[in-house]
């Protein structure tokens, strides 16, 4: 346990707790950014450079911006004097404390964990790319498919649904275009009659 | 305490914080943020076991984390789109007021 690791871990955990407990949603989103950046720093401290920078790109860059946009789009006026916790909050706190106690007990008392610290592994981008293109090529393709489906699905779900008014006007248009046909046929018929006469 | 145990304890605490937030907050966006924190705690576990495990040169834990980050990004996009659709329908994101399917 080096000192930088401990400092980064404290900052990350404090920011995560702040993100879950603050009242103002924008402050929550900003604390979440700090927590995710701290996690990226933890990955860097654990010699996982590529994952650390991917974490910054994806989480700090994209997910945090998405959350801020969602906060701004769903802002309502009724929040300031309401309670921020749901009615069963005490049970939730107890359940999560029990979960943490169980996990911590298991971590501290397990005998199967490796004790020694191996030398820092070599995880260059070239190695990762080689593996992604050879051994993990099928999961990579599946991830591509999943991301495409999620992109299209998110756009379709969040798309503004048509109001009934515009739908009925379109129906009227279709109706009128159908209605327009008989005069056309009639005019054709009159032309025919004219030609016949 | 070995470094691996330190990482696992940090990850367990992060998971507990995320779980508490996802269960207790009334705002749907913050429930989603709690789920993201839990996913990140799992990622930290994978990285810790990859770093201190017996075969770090195989890069297995790192691959799992890369795929997990991609899936979490897709999950966040779809989840926030759902929240925005719910907000448009109910005019609120308070999880206690969205109860039309409640038994």
B69-97: per-residue pLDDT in tens?
A: 999 999 999 999 999 988 888 888 888 88
Q: What is the pLDDT of residue A180?
A: 44
- Residue A186 pLDDT more than 60? no
Residues of A within 8 A of B56 (CB-CB) are 118, 121, 123
Contact check, Cβ <8 Å, B34/A20: yes
How many other C-beta atoms are found inside a 10 Å radius of the C-beta of residue B102?
A: 6
H/E segment holding residue A63: none
Q: What is the pLDDT of residue A78?
A: 57
Q: What residues 168-197 of chain A have any CB closer than 8 A to a CB of chain B?
A: none
- Residue A40 pLDDT more than 90? yes
> What are residue B25's DSSP bridge partners?
A85
Inside any domain, residue B101: no
Fold of the domain built from segment(s) A1-75:
1.20.120
Task: Report the domain count for chain B.
Answer: 1
Q: Give A175's pLDDT tier (boundaries 50, 70, 90).
A: very low
Residues of B within 8 A of A151 (CB-CB) are 74, 77
Contact check, Cβ <8 Å, A103/B2: no
Taking a C-beta distance cutoff of 8 angstroms, is the pair A21, B23 a contact?
no
- Residue ranges per domain, chain A? 1-75, 122-159, 163-197
Residue scoring higher pLDDT (A134 or A112): A134
Q: Domain range for residue B33? A: 3-90
Supply the ipTM of this predicted assembly.
0.92
User: Whole-number mean pLDDT of chain B?
Assistant: 90
* C-alpha dihedral sign at B15, A16, B22, A74: negative
Inside any domain, residue B86: yes
Q: Residue A70: which residues within 8 A CB-CB, separation 6 or more?
A: B29, B80, B83, B84
Inside any domain, residue B75: yes
* C-alpha dihedral sign at A153, A154, A157, A161: negative
Q: What is the pLDDT of residue A185?
A: 44
Contact check, Cβ <8 Å, A86/B26: yes
Q: What is the pLDDT of residue A83?
A: 74
Contact check, Cβ <8 Å, A92/B56: no
Residue B38: closest C-alpha in chain A: A16
pLDDT digit string, tens, across residues B23-53: 998 889 999 999 999 999 999 999 999 999 8
The whole-angstrom separation of Cα B3 and Cα B52 is: 8
Contacts 24+ apart (CB under 8 A), A104-113: A104/B9, A104/B12, A104/B13, A107/B5, A107/B8, A107/B9, A107/B12, A108/B1, A108/B5, A108/B9, A113/B2, A113/B4, A113/B5
Q: Among A11-15, A144-148, B57-61, whose mean pLDDT is lowest?
A: B57-61
Q: What is the pLDDT of residue A41?
A: 95
Q: What is the pLDDT of residue B103?
A: 54
The whole-angstrom separation of Cα B78 and Cα B36 is: 13
């Amino acid at each position: 346990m080096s000192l930088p690791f401990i400092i980064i871990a404290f900052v990350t955990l404090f920011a995560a707790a702040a993100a879950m407990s603050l009242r103002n949603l924008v402050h929550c989103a900003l604390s979440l950014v700090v927590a995710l950046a701290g996690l990226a720093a933890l990955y860097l401290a654990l010699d996982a450079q590529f994952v650390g920078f991917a974490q910054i790109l994806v989480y700090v860059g994209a997910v945090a911006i998405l959350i801020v946009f969602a906060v701004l789009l769903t802002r309502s006026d009724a929040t300031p004097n309401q309670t921020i916790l749901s009615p069963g909050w005490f049970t939730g706190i107890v359940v999560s404390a029990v979960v943490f106690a169980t996990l911590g007990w298991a971590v501290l008392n397990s005998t199967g964990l490796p004790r020694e610290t191996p030398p820092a592994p070599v995880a260059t981008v070239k190695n990762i790319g080689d593996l992604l293109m050879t051994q993990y090529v099928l999961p990579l393709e599946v991830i591509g498919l999943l991301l495409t489906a999620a992109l299209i699905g998110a756009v379709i779900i969040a798309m503004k649904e048509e109001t009934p008014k515009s739908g009925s006007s379109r129906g009227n248009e279709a109706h009128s275009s159908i209605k327009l046909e008989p005069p056309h046929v009639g005019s054709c018929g009159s032309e025919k009659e004219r030609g016949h006469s | 305490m070995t470094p691996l145990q330190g990482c696992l304890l940090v990850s367990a605490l992060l998971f507990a914080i995320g779980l508490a937030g996802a269960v207790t907050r009334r705002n749907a966006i913050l429930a989603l943020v709690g789920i993201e924190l839990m996913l990140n705690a799992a990622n930290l576990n994978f990285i810790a076991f990859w770093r201190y495990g017996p075969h770090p040169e195989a890069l297995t834990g790192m691959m799992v984390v890369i795929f997990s980050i991609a899936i979490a990004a897709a999950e966040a996009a779809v989840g926030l789109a759902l929240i925005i659709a719910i907000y448009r329908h109910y005019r609120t994101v308070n999880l206690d007021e969205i109860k039309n399917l409640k038994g």
